[in-house]
Structure 1
């Protein structure tokens, strides 16, 4: 699989940055080529044309329809990260979610 670009968004980009770091570690262990950026939800439009997957933190559930719509318009799968995965910063589980979205 070619390197895939993933954007994780949260309110300010900080908590998603920690999760992104753990996903990079998990991907390296599994030899998965992935480029992950963590940004604020306000930056989605700046990246939507250059990503393969869009993930968002559970605290942005109120934006789900808007983010799904943006993803659909650009053929980018979008998913909310489960509370347990997000809260525990579980890079392995988040990577599994990304890989599931890529094979759909």
Structure 2
């Protein structure tokens, strides 16, 4: 199972994105757990995940999260505005899979 954490500022928009990604993952028969949290909660989950997807508006966190995840298998992925802004779960799953190589 691939454990994915999505983060945005408050957790609201990433919550909708996570729901759309879960639907798409189920449609494809992918074994994934996709949760959404606010960026303030990242530290609570970082040791339990395989991938961290960050909302495009939080790009400033990318380097810090890359450093934090160094030495682990966690992939840090900056979501693209073109699918994040319309909450396109299909494109988000495509992006995730292209990075994790599943």
Tell whether the structures are fold-level matches, with TM greater than 0.5: yes
CA shift, 1:31, in A, is 0.5
Alignment RMSD: 1.2
CA shift, 1:32, in A, is 0.5
* Residue in 2 that maps onto 1:78: 76
Q: Which runs of 5+ in 2 are unaligned?
A: none
- Cα distance in 2 between the residues matched to 1:86 and 1:70: 24
Q: What is the TM-score when the length of structure 1 is the normalising length? A: 0.92
- Could you tell me which of 54, 57, 60 is aligned with 1:62? 60
- Structure 1 residue ranges, 4+ long, deviating more than 6 angstroms after superposition: none
Count of matched residue positions in the alignment of Structure 1 and Structure 2: 102
CA shift, 1:69, in A, is 1.2
* Residue in 1 that maps onto 2:16: 18
Q: What is the TM-score when the length of structure 2 is the normalising length? A: 0.94
* Residue in 2 that maps onto 1:27: 25
